[in-house]
Amino acid sequence: MRKPYRAAVAATILLTAAPLLAQNPCPGFSVVVNTPEDQLMLAINGAENPEGQIAALDKFTQANPDSKFTNCANEYYTIAYVKTGNFDKAIEYGEKDLAANYQDLSLLVNLLKAYVGAGKPTDQAFDIITKAPDQIKKETTPAHPSNASDADWQKIQQDAAELAKNLTDYMTYAFFQLLPRVTDSAKRITLLGQFEKAYPDADTQYASQINYQYFMTYEMAGQSDKADPYGEKALAADATNVQVLNLVAYDYANLRTNLDKASDYAKKVVTLVPAMKKPEGQTDDQFKAEQNNQLGMAHLTLGYVNFQKAALAKTRKVASAIQELKAAVDLLNGNPALQGGALYYLANCYEYQVPPSHHDALEALNKAVAIQSPWQGPARDLLAKVKVAR
């Protein structure tokens, strides 16, 4: 049950990004009046849409291929292409600047927007996130104007601190958007460690998200002994995380380390799912399917726990397990791997009870064998045994 169950689960953690304060592009460049660069900036600022800005940039770069303003032009290309949703082109121009050892916060933020929008968890993207704190400190540490009053200086510092916080929040948002797309569990562990080192306050401010990602990463690697402690930490920070509750409950049940806690967590999922809020961008049908999937997982775990308790007590009273597993089968139509597991254990319950119900077991096993899932082999083996026994 362990590997098929885990393989069927995919979860992504989302954060709400704080709105960014304005951060000027190309802070290291100065523009002289009546130069080609000045004409470019007038055209960019006067354009009605990003396409107009791109046209102005094309005209400038073609006429001035050796301009010292090229890095700045690449940054404006990046910004404009992000606005149009052409993330690949935005990445192309943004990476040109990085290759030329040019960077500023506006470039880094917009390049990250492109990586997130394109769903590309590249090494470059994570390198930006890791190195961003130094750049944020560099560009948001204000100089004290000699003629500023105490009140003005305090306001300058407050604005700079707010900008630094918003930029840091975006870097964190981008990290948690991109990390779940990394398929190598060892690499994910390394990236989490690098993030914690670069953002020392993250373990406190984002305890739920970080522990959740460690939990999911070790789950991916099949290392429940390492995953479950992080799952408990994630639940300590957010006791309503349905995905974590379901997976930790399953591990406790499957490993038989804490059947009572597995049952408590699965029951909590059953109470939480009806109150789930539909994520932005998800259709009603998609949301309903996710709710059914989470409920189905919970009922599958409850059925498995009740079956194990009956076996340990040697009572052969599995009516409650059968009820839970039947509910799981009905709810998991959209998840063949989990549904196959529910049918397989339902058949085991029918065979375990006294007297055994061979007819019901055969019906469940025939359905399990017909479903493309990792449970087909075990179901075929049990089916052959039940046919002999009936």
Q: What is the DSSP string of 349-384?
A: HHHHSSS--HHHHHHHHHHHHHS-STTHHHHHHHHH
Please give the average per-residue pLDDT across 140-149, as a whole number: 90
Q: What are the structure tokens assigned to 278, written together?
A: 């539909």
- For residue 23, name the pLDDT band (cuts at 50, 70, 90): low
- 75 within some domain: yes
Q: Are 104 and 26 in contact (CB under 8 A)?
A: yes
Which stretch, 19-28, 138-147, 161-170, 342-351, has highest mean pLDDT?
342-351
Q: Is 70 exceeded by the pLDDT of residue 16?
A: no
Q: Domain ends where: 160, 181, 202? A: 181
Q: What per-residue confidence (pLDDT) applies to 17?
A: 36
Q: What per-residue confidence (pLDDT) applies to 28?
A: 79
Q: Is the Cα torsion angle 339, 340, 342, 347 positive or negative in sign? A: positive
Q: What per-residue confidence (pLDDT) applies to 18?
A: 33
Q: Is 70 exceeded by the pLDDT of residue 2?
A: no
- 18 within some domain: no
Looking at the fold, whether 271 and 375 belong to one and the same domain comes out as: yes
Please give the average per-residue pLDDT across 152-171, as a whole number: 92
Number of domains the chain is built from: 2
Q: What per-residue confidence (pLDDT) applies to 21?
A: 39
pLDDT tens for each residue of 230-259? 999 999 988 999 999 998 998 899 888 899
- 233 within some domain: no
Please give the average per-residue pLDDT across 123-129, as a whole number: 97
Looking at the fold, whether 146 and 270 belong to one and the same domain comes out as: no
- 51 within some domain: yes
**Own/partner pairs, 58-66, CB within 8 angstroms, 24+ separation:** 60/36, 63/36, 64/36
Q: What per-residue confidence (pLDDT) applies to 185?
A: 94
Q: Is 90 exceeded by the pLDDT of residue 30?
A: no
Q: What are the structure tokens assigned to 100, written together?
A: 């030329």
Looking at the fold, whether 266 and 169 belong to one and the same domain comes out as: no
Looking at the fold, whether 246 and 376 belong to one and the same domain comes out as: yes
- 50 within some domain: yes
pTM of the predicted structure, to 2 decimals: 0.77
Please give the average per-residue pLDDT across 190-196, as a whole number: 96
Lowest mean pLDDT among 157-161, 325-329, 361-365: 157-161
Q: How many residues does the chain have?
A: 390
Looking at the fold, whether 383 and 244 belong to one and the same domain comes out as: yes
Q: Domain ends where: 181, 198, 225? A: 181
Q: Are 57 and 73 in contact (CB under 8 A)?
A: yes
- 199 within some domain: no
Please give the average per-residue pLDDT across 268-277, as a whole number: 95
- 21 within some domain: no
Q: What per-residue confidence (pLDDT) applies to 4?
A: 39
Q: What per-residue confidence (pLDDT) applies to 389?
A: 83
List the one residue out of 200, 168, 194, 170 whose CA is nearest residue 182.
Answer: 194
Looking at the fold, whether 177 and 260 belong to one and the same domain comes out as: no
Looking at the fold, whether 385 and 253 belong to one and the same domain comes out as: yes
Q: What per-residue confidence (pLDDT) applies to 297?
A: 96
Looking at the fold, whether 168 and 251 belong to one and the same domain comes out as: no
- The proportion of the chain whose per-residue pLDDT surpasses 90, expressed as a percent, equals 78
Looking at the fold, whether 381 and 290 belong to one and the same domain comes out as: yes
CATH code at 257?
A: 1.25.40.10
Please give the average per-residue pLDDT across 322-337, as a whole number: 95
Q: Is 50 exceeded by the pLDDT of residue 130?
A: yes
Q: Is 70 exceeded by the pLDDT of residue 5?
A: no
- 24 within some domain: no
Mean pLDDT, the chain, whole residue set: 90
Q: What are the structure tokens assigned to 36, written together?
A: 């080609």
DSSP code for 257:
S
For residue 353, the enclosing domain spans: 239-389
H or E segment at 203? helix 202-205
Q: Domain ends where: 152, 181, 210? A: 181
Q: Are 4 and 373 in contact (CB under 8 A)?
A: yes
pLDDT tens for each residue of 52-63? 999 999 999 999
Looking at the fold, whether 60 and 137 belong to one and the same domain comes out as: yes
- For residue 3, name the pLDDT band (cuts at 50, 70, 90): very low
- 119 vs 10, more confident: 119
